[in-house]
Amino acid sequence: MEDLVSAPWLRRLIIAGLLAACVLLGFRVMDPFIVPLVWAGILAFVSWPAYRWLRDKCRGHTTVAALLMTGAMTAAVIAPLAWLAVVLRVELAHTWRETQTLLAGGVQLPPAVLKLPWIGEQLRDLTTRAAQDPQVLGEALRKVTDRSFNQIAHVIGGIGREAVKLLLAVVSLFFVYRDGERLATQLTRGLEQVLGPRVHKYLQAIGQTVKAVVYGLVLAALVQGVLVGLGYWLAGTGAPVFLAALTTVSGLIPFAAPTIWGCVVAWLLLKGSTVAGVGLLIWGSIVMGWTDHIVRPFLISREAEIHFLVVMFGVLGGLAAFGLVGLFVGPVILAVLLAIWREWLLESAEAAPRA
C-alpha cells in the first residue's frame, strides 16, 4: 500500500486531478464575467493606439491615461445610445400614428405596383380582402403588438443584468488599459509554455481578425446606415433615425440590411409615394451594392489574410452560439482554425521533399 501511495504515476494523477478541479471551479466562478471581460479586451485592443497617444500626452502616467480613456470610451458608447433613445421615442410614436391612419383609410396601391408581374396580383387580392374586412389588419396588428409588448417586457427585465455587465465591462476596461501590456506579456509567455513559438501566429491571426471585423463589418455597417438613413430622410419616411439605426444594426449581419431597406421601399409604394419609393430603391441599391460587394470585402481582406466567406460564417455562427459578443468570437475561432490548417499544410509541404 505504501508503494502504491508513493508511486510517481499516482502522484501525477492526483496533481492532474486537482489541477483539473481547480480549473473547472475557476471557470464556474468566472463564468458570469467572461462576456464583460471579452468586451473590455476587444474595446481596449481596437482603441489601443489612441490610448498610447493619450499615455504619451500624460507623460507616462498610466493610471491617469487609463482613467481618461475609459471615460472617453464610456461616453462614446452611452451618449449616442441616450440620444438615440430620445429620438426613437418621438419617431416611433409618429410611425404608430401614421400606421393607424393608413389602416383606417384603407391601403391604396399605386397603378405601377398593381402592374407588377405576379406580386401586383397578390397585393391586389390582399388589399381587396382588407377593404372588405378592415378588422383583419387590425386584429393582425393587435396580435403583433401583444407579442411585441411581451418581448419588450422581457427585454426590460434583462436591462438590470445588462447594466451590471456594462458596469463590469467599464471597470475591466480601465484595468486592461492600465495593465494591458503586462497582461499581454504574461498571456503570451503562458501560451508559449503550452503551444511553443507557433502561438505568435495564432495571436497574430486573432488580432487581424478582430480588426477585420471592426473595420469590415462594424465600420461598413455604420457607413451603410448613415448613407441609407440619408435616403430615408430625403424620402420622407417619418422615422429616418429609427430606420437608419435598424439598418445599421442589421448591417452587422452580412446581407441582412437590404431586408430593412426593402420593407421601407415597399411601405412607401403602398402609401402611394411612388417617386420616393423608386428613388429610395435606386439609392439603396447603390449604397448596399457599394458597401456589401466592394467596401466590406476590401476592408476585411486588407486587415486579415482571411476570406470574406469565412468571416461571414464566423459572424453568423458566432451570433447564434454566443450572442452579440459572438460577432467577434466566431470569426476569431475560425481564424485560429484556419491558421492551424495553413501551418499543417506548410509543415506537410516542407516534409514532402525529405520523404
pLDDT at 328 over 90: no
- C-beta separation of 340 from 199 below 8 A: no
Q: Which residue has better confidence, 177 or 15?
A: 177
| Whole-number percent of the chain with pLDDT over 90 | 9
At residue 126, the pLDDT reads 63
At residue 157, the pLDDT reads 52
Q: Which residue has better confidence, 67 or 206?
A: 67
Q: Residue 175 — pLDDT band, cuts 50, 70, 90? A: very high
* CA separation for the pair 322, 338 (Å, rounded): 20
290-305 residues labelled b (16+ CB within 10 A) or e (exposed): ebbeebbbebbeebbe
* CA separation for the pair 234, 240 (Å, rounded): 9
Joined grid coordinates for residue 87: 429620438
Which residue's entry shows cell 435616403?
231
Q: What is the DSSP letter of 117?
A: T
Joined grid coordinates for residue 311: 468571416
End-to-end CA separation in angstroms for the chain = 50
Q: Taking all residues of the chain, what is their mean pLDDT, rounded to a whole number?
A: 78
At residue 330, the pLDDT reads 86
- C-beta separation of 234 from 211 below 8 A: no
SS (H, E, C) 305-346: CCCHHHHHHHHHHHHHHHHHHHHHHHHHHHHHHHHHHHHHHH
Lowest mean pLDDT among 144-148, 216-220, 346-350: 144-148
If 0-12 CB within 10 Å is exposed, 13-18 middle and 19+ buried, where does residue 280 land? buried
Q: What is the mean pLDDT of residues 58-84?
A: 87
Q: What is the pLDDT of residues 254-269, one digit of tens each?
A: 677 788 888 888 878 7
CB atoms within 10 A of CB 277: 22
Q: Residue 160 — pLDDT band, cuts 50, 70, 90? A: low
pLDDT at 232 over 60: yes
Q: What is the mean pLDDT of residues 92-103?
A: 66
- C-beta separation of 265 from 284 below 8 A: yes
Domain locations in the chain? 33-109+146-174, 194-350
At residue 345, the pLDDT reads 79
Q: What is the pLDDT of residues 118-158, one digit of tens each?
A: 666 666 666 666 655 655 555 555 555 555 455 545 544 55
Q: What is the mean pLDDT of residues 176-183?
A: 90
Joined grid coordinates for residue 266: 415597399
At residue 248, the pLDDT reads 86
| Whole-number percent of the chain with pLDDT over 70 | 75
Joined grid coordinates for residue 277: 419609393
pLDDT at 20 over 70: yes
Lowest mean pLDDT among 87-91, 94-98, 237-241: 94-98
Q: What is the mean pLDDT of residues 310-334?
A: 83
Q: What is the mean pLDDT of residues 14-31?
A: 88
Most confident of 146-150, 170-174, 300-304: 170-174
* CA separation for the pair 108, 127 (Å, rounded): 8
Torsion of CA 212, 217, 223, 225, to 10 degrees: -170
Q: Residue 302 — pLDDT band, cuts 50, 70, 90? A: confident
At residue 151, the pLDDT reads 53
At residue 65, the pLDDT reads 92
Q: Residue 271 — pLDDT band, cuts 50, 70, 90? A: confident
Is pTM beyond 0.85? Reply is no
pLDDT at 87 over 90: no
At residue 146, the pLDDT reads 56
CA diameter of the chain: 95
* CA separation for the pair 74, 216 (Å, rounded): 23
Q: What is the DSSP letter of 291?
A: I
* CA separation for the pair 303, 211 (Å, rounded): 6
Q: At a CB cut-off of 8 Å and minimum separation 6, what does 244 contact?
A: 225, 226, 228, 229, 232
Lowest mean pLDDT among 13-22, 62-71, 77-86, 280-289: 77-86
